Amino acid sequence: MAKDITQQNIDAWLNGNYDQDSKKEILRMQAEDPAALSDAFYKTLEFGTGGLRGILGVGTNRMNKYTVGFATQGLANYLIKCFKQDIKVAISYDSRNFSTEFAQIAANILAANEIQVYLFDALRPTPELSFAVRHLQCNAGIMITASHNPKEYNGYKVYWNDGSQLVPPHDKNVINEVNKIKAVEQVKWEGRPDLIRIIGKDVDNIYLTLVRRLSLHPEAVTAAKKFSIVYTPLHGTGVSLVPQALADYGFKKVHIVKEQAVTDGDFPTVKSPNPEEHAALELAIAKAKKEKADIVLATDPDADRVGIAVRREDGEYQLFNGNQTATLLFHYMLSQTRINPLDNNLFVVKTIVTTDLIDQIATDFNVECYNVLTGFKYIAEKIRQFEGKKQFLVGGEESYGYLVGDFVRDKDAVSACCLIAEMAAYYKTTYQRSLIDQLEIIYREYQYFKESMVSLTEPGEAGMQAIQQRMSDLREKFPTTLGGQPVIMVHDYKSQHTCKMQSKTDDRIELPSSNVLQFITSDGSKVTVRPSGTEPKIKFYFSVCETIGDEQTMQEVDGILEERLAALKKDLGLL
């Protein structure tokens, strides 16, 4: 059956109204690389709840002008159904190969459908696109990016009128409209160029002004005259705004990694432009050692994620994971914001796979912490839910994405870079502490939480089936022990039920259904299993914690927690 569909898709391209270069490439692959041809056509690249993401190339299962065109026409059709007329859409793009072309194609199609387009004059970060949707009162937004994926990828993210990525019911409704587009002839490819308005510095300036207003301790930056930062945009959009934003905050010593300040979709200096990976920060750390910088900041190609490294006393640099940076940022915002305990309407938001240390910190400051499904759109949805009722302070997720303030409705590495740097300057000038010292203080005050994640890639159709089978097996027979400890609670977010093992009772989970399982053990350890929504992967998130005794060293407790993590992974066959 799959073979028939593959051949049908190939024949449709060879015989349809597709360009000659694409047809020549199909014929070449038929002769030279039939396996690659099959992979390019065995299915249609799915327009998921966030949009498209895939490998660049010819084929129905690839990112190209046709998949972008079909998606845009489907989006246009849905916007017309919802809003009838006077529709506006903002478009931005990152440094990836073909991002500029895809953005122009999307703009042309929207304009041909009588939709007003605001197209950035050059690459801009995802958070600025989110801001522009709100600022220009658009009905939707499009960001051409594949985030931190390798160079072979590109993607297409859709935003709704509040500046957040699509959530129900619009996500499924847009998918339905996109799936109705089956032929090139259904797409309005060109028309009404007068409806495409170029935007740029005017939006930048307003956005940067709002980023500057998030500052809590400008005096600390002024006092930290020798505070030194190394920043790398990893060949992406961050170079367009982050250096200026840091300068606006008052930082005088910002050293940019020049080799990685070149916007290049081939990402020539890294294997993957992912600030979560140590290898991506090697050039920045080398420069930091030369400059004796206090902190290293690295943003991914669309500048919505930030990774950091902090200088130790011995001159080496310690990389922080996403949970550690989130812990510091949440604690900084909560501890330095004036909170009235008698009239507290502040709230913070994190995802269910982000460290539970944040819940403890929020409780300590008498601030509500909401846990949502993985994906920043759910954090944005919570902001929208309480708009006009409560004040959002900070949100974040373990995958290096953070948001302070609500003028953006997606993770924002531009503002995060500024506030992380300010936070580091504040602790240095006020208490002569590094962020390493401050994190230890937080661990000792609350508990030492240590997290780990294992991601298994299962490529192809067989891989997807294997992932689903693994989830089914875990549901049919819950593990009774993990890491030598009894499992006392299981959260099944798909059935939306929590099973309390000892009392054998069920509670309802008040979150949307999602294919996620979470196991809690008697010692507070947590294991979360979740298939990726955008890639053929299954992810295992592990969290363990321990109270640090007065006589215990961090290294001693860290060793205990490492052993617990290893035991959990072993029980799930991951070691």
Query: Which residues make up the CATH 3.30.310 domain(s) of the chain?
Result: 448-571
DSSP 203-252: HHHHHHHHHHTT-S-HHHHHH-TT-EEEEE-TTSGGGGTHHHHHHHHT--
Q: How far apart are CA 68 and CA 49, in angstroms?
A: 15
**Burial (Cβ within 10 Å: 0-12, 13-18, ≥19) of residue 249:** buried
Per-residue pLDDT of the chain (575 residues; tens, 9 = 90+): 455 899 999 999 999 999 999 999 999 999 999 999 999 999 999 888 789 999 999 999 999 999 999 999 999 999 999 998 999 999 999 999 999 999 999 999 999 999 999 999 999 999 999 999 999 999 999 999 999 899 999 999 999 999 999 988 999 999 999 999 999 999 999 989 999 999 999 999 999 999 999 999 999 999 999 999 999 999 999 999 999 999 999 999 999 999 999 999 999 999 999 999 999 999 999 999 999 999 999 999 999 999 999 999 999 999 999 999 999 999 999 999 987 766 679 999 999 999 999 999 999 999 999 999 999 999 999 999 999 999 999 999 999 999 999 999 999 999 999 999 999 999 999 999 999 999 999 999 999 999 999 999 987 767 888 899 999 999 999 999 999 999 999 999 999 999 998 777 789 999 999 999 999 999 999 999 999 765 678 999 999 999 999 999 999 999 999 999 999 999 999 98
Tell me which residue of 408, 428, 395, 246 sits closest to 326, measured CA to CA: 395
Q: How far apart are CA 485 and CA 169, in angstroms?
A: 41
Which residue out of 22, 92, 147, 415 is catalytically annotated?
147
- pLDDT, tens only, 315-372: 999 999 999 999 999 999 999 998 776 667 999 999 999 999 999 999 999 999 999 9
Q: How far apart are CA 200 and CA 549, in angstroms?
A: 54
Annotated catalytic, 503? no
Please answer whether residues 398 and 540 qualify as being in contact, where contact means their C-beta atoms are separated by less than 8 angstroms.
Answer: no
Q: How far apart are CA 554 and CA 63, in angstroms?
A: 47
| pLDDT at res. 191 | 86
Residue 297, strand partner residues? 231, 308
Tell me which residue of 80, 88, 85 sits closest to 141, measured CA to CA: 88
**CATH number, domain 43-199:** 3.40.120.10
Which residues are CB-neighbours of 106 under 8 A, at least 6 positions away? 68, 72, 91, 142, 144, 156
Q: How far apart are CA 190 and CA 464, in angstroms?
A: 37
Q: How far apart are CA 379 and CA 432, in angstroms?
A: 34
Length of the chain counted residue by residue? 575
What sign has the CA pseudo-torsion 205, 210, 211, 217? Answer: positive
Q: Which CATH number fits domain 448-571: 3.30.70, 3.40.1350, 3.30.310, 1.10.1760?
A: 3.30.310
Phi, psi of 311 (to 5 degrees): -70, 130
Phi, psi of 560 (to 5 degrees): -60, -45
Q: How far, CA to CA in Å, does 25 sit from each of 33, 68, 312, 427?
A: 11, 19, 52, 57
Q: How far apart are CA 88 and CA 79, in angstroms?
A: 9
**Burial (Cβ within 10 Å: 0-12, 13-18, ≥19) of residue 510:** exposed
Query: Which residues make up the CATH 3.40.120.10 domain(s) of the chain?
Result: 43-199, 207-214+223-445
Give the CA diameter of the chain: 75
One-letter-per-residue 3-state SS of 332-385: HHHHHCCCCCCCCCEEEEEECCCCCHHHHHHHHCCCEEEEECCCHHHHHHHHHH
Tell me which residue of 39, 10, 43 sits closest to 27, measured CA to CA: 10
Please answer whether residues 306 and 424 qualify as being in contact, where contact means their C-beta atoms are separated by less than 8 angstroms.
Answer: no
**Which H/E stretch holds residue 394?**
strand 391-397
311-318: long-range pairs with CB below 8 Å, 24+: 311/434, 312/434, 312/436, 315/289, 317/285, 317/288, 317/289, 318/436
Could you tell me the two tokens for 84? Answer: 């009838």
**Angle CA(535)–CA(537)–CA(543) in degrees, nearest 5?**
120
Tell me which residue of 277, 124, 113 sits closest to 196, measured CA to CA: 113
| pLDDT at res. 1 | 44
Residue 507, strand partner residues? 498
Please answer whether residues 544 and 524 qualify as being in contact, where contact means their C-beta atoms are separated by less than 8 angstroms.
Answer: yes
Q: How far apart are CA 336 and CA 261, in angstroms?
A: 33
**Which H/E stretch holds residue 450?**
strand 448-457
The answer regarding whether domain 207-214+223-445 maps to CATH 3.40.120.10 reads: yes
| pLDDT at res. 338 | 82
Could you tell me the two tokens for 452? Answer: 């780990």
